[in-house]
A and B are shown apart, each in its own frame.
Chain A
Amino acid sequence: MSGVEDIPSGPVPGAGTRAGRRGANASLLVGGALVAAVVLLALVSFLWTPHDPTLVDAPNRLRGPSAAHWLGTDRFGRDVASQVMVGARTTLFVGVVAVGVAALVGTPLGVLAAMSSRRLGELVMRGNDLVLAFPALLLAIMFGAVFGADTLTAMLAIGIATAPSFARLARGGAVEVLGTEYVLAARVAGRRRLAIAVRHVLPNIAGLVIVQTSVSFGIAVLAEAALSFLGLGTRPPTPSWGRMLQESQELLTVSPRLALVPGLAIALAVLGFNLLGDGLRDRLDPRLEARG
Chain B
Amino acid sequence: MSRSEPRSPVLTVTGLTVSTVDTELVRDVSLRVDRGERVGLIGESGSGKSLTASAVLGLLPEGVRATGSVRLAGVDHDLLGASERALAALRGRRMTLVFQEPMTALNPAMRVVDQVAEVMLVHRTRPDRRSARAAAVELLDRVRLPDPADTARAYPHQLSGGQRQRVVLAIALANDPDLLICDEPTTALDVTVQARMLELIRAATARSTGLLFITHDLAVVASLCDRVLVMYGGRLVESGPVHQVFTAPRHPYTRGLLAASDLTATDERGRLRTIPGSVPGAGQFPAGCVFRTRCDRADQACGQLPDWRGTPEHGHACWHPTHPGGGAP
Contacts and interface: CB of A to CB of B under 8 A. Distances in A.
* A contacts B directly (C-beta below 8 A): yes
Interface of A: 4-5, 7-16, 18-19, 291
Contacts of A5: 187-188
A41 to B, nearest CB: 40
A15 B20 contact: yes
A7 B63 contact: no
B184 A19 contact: no
A13 B63 contact: yes
A13 B45 contact: no
A11 B22 contact: no
Contacts of A19: 63
A13 B61 contact: yes
Closest 7 CB pairs of A and B: A15-B63, A11-B282, A10-B50, A15-B20, A8-B45, A13-B64, A9-B50
For A4, A8, A9, which residue has the most chain B Cβ atoms within 10 angstroms? A9
A14 B282 contact: yes
A291 B283 CA distance: 12
B20 A9 contact: no
Nearest to B43: A10
B281 interface: yes
B64 A7 contact: no
Contacts of A9: 45, 49-50, 100, 183-184
Contact of B20 (A4, A8, A14): A14
Contacts, number: 56
Contacts of A7: 45, 100, 184, 187, 216
Nearest to A4: B188
A7 B63 CA distance: 23
Nearest to A8: B45
Contacts of B48: 10-11
A291 B281 CA distance: 10
A13 B20 contact: yes
6 contacts: A7-B216, A9-B49, A10-B50, A13-B51, A15-B63, A16-B62
Contacts of B50: 9-10
A169 B124 CA distance: 46
Interface residues of B, number: 26
Contact of B46 (A4, A10, A16, A18): A10
Contacts of A8: 45
B282 A15 contact: no
Contacts of B25: 10-11, 13
Contacts of B283: 14
Interface in B29-61: 45-51, 61
Contacts of A4: 101, 188
A252 to B, nearest CB: 45
B100 A14 contact: no
Contact of B45 (A10, A18, A291): A10
Given A9-B184, A15-B20, 12 more contacts: A7-B187, A7-B216, A9-B45, A9-B49, A10-B25, A10-B51, A11-B48, A13-B23, A14-B23, A14-B282, A14-B283, A15-B63
For A11, A16, A19, which residue has the most chain B Cβ atoms within 10 angstroms? A11
A9 B282 CA distance: 12
A18 B63 CA distance: 11
Contacts of A18: 21
A74 B133 CA distance: 71
A12 B50 CA distance: 11
A15 to B, nearest CB: 3
A10 B281 CA distance: 10
B49 A11 contact: no
A23 to B, nearest CB: 13
Contacts of A14: 20, 22-23, 282-283
Contact of B21 (A11, A12, A15): A15
Interface in B10-29: 20-23, 25
Contacts of B188: 4-5
A15 B216 contact: no
B235 to A, nearest CB: 13
A8 to B, nearest CB: 5
Interface in B249-298: 281-283
Interface in B176-216: 183-184, 187-188, 216
A12 B47 CA distance: 11
Given A5-B187, A5-B188, A291-B281, A11 B46 contact: yes
Nearest to A11: B282
A15 B19 CA distance: 9
A39 B64 CA distance: 43
A15 B7 CA distance: 40
Contacts of B22: 14
A88 B194 CA distance: 65
Contacts of B46: 10-11
B104 to A, nearest CB: 11
A12 B63 contact: no
A18 B282 CA distance: 14
A11 B48 CA distance: 7
A4 B20 CA distance: 30
Nearest to A7: B187
Contacts of A11: 25, 45-46, 48, 51, 281-282
A9 B185 CA distance: 12
